[in-house]
Amino acid sequence: MARRHHDLGGLPAGPVDRSEHQLSDWEILADAINQALGEKRIKRTDEMRRAREDMDSEVYRSLTYYERWIASLETILTEKKIFTREEIDRKVAEFEKQWGEP
């Protein structure tokens, strides 16, 4: 029976890091966008989970919490044809030009 990359219950994990940390602006924004899309009934938590679970495992493990959220939102918004991958890539390229490497 295969265990998927998100399903870690019972695996050795070491001590839990309980330190508080400040959220970055982009993380707060990611949360806000996520909630707004939920409020508008564009996506559901279950879809977000499915998108994270279906990511490439190496990519999944390399991303931070909110990076996984953003990647999941991109997947769902492109699936639903609200954005195309090209539109997202174009916008990211614009930001990179304006602000430097993200």
Partner 1 sequence: MRVRAEERPGHIRTPFYIRGRVGWVEKVYGDFLNPESLAYGRDGLPKRTLYLVGFHQKEIWGQYRAGAQDKLYVDIYEHWLEPL
Residues that bind partner 1 (CB under 8 A): 1-4, 7, 9-10, 44, 46-47, 49-50, 53-54, 79-80
User: C-beta of 82: minimal distance to partner 1 in Å?
Assistant: 12
Q: Which is nearer to partner 1, 30 or 72 (CB)?
A: 72
Are 57 and 63 in contact, with CB atoms under 8 Å apart?
A: no
Nearer to partner 1, 47 or 74 (CB): 47
For partner 1, give the closer residue by CB, 45 or 98: 45
Residue type, 89: D
Q: What is the DSSP letter of 54?
A: T
Give the CA distances from residue 69 to residues 1, 10, 40, 65, 84, in Å, rounded to whole numbers and listed in that order. Answer: 27, 24, 17, 7, 18
- Angstrom distance (rounded) from CA 3 to CA 12: 14
Least gap, CB of 61 to partner 1 (angstroms): 17
Q: Closest separation between CB of residue 2 and partner 1, Å?
A: 7
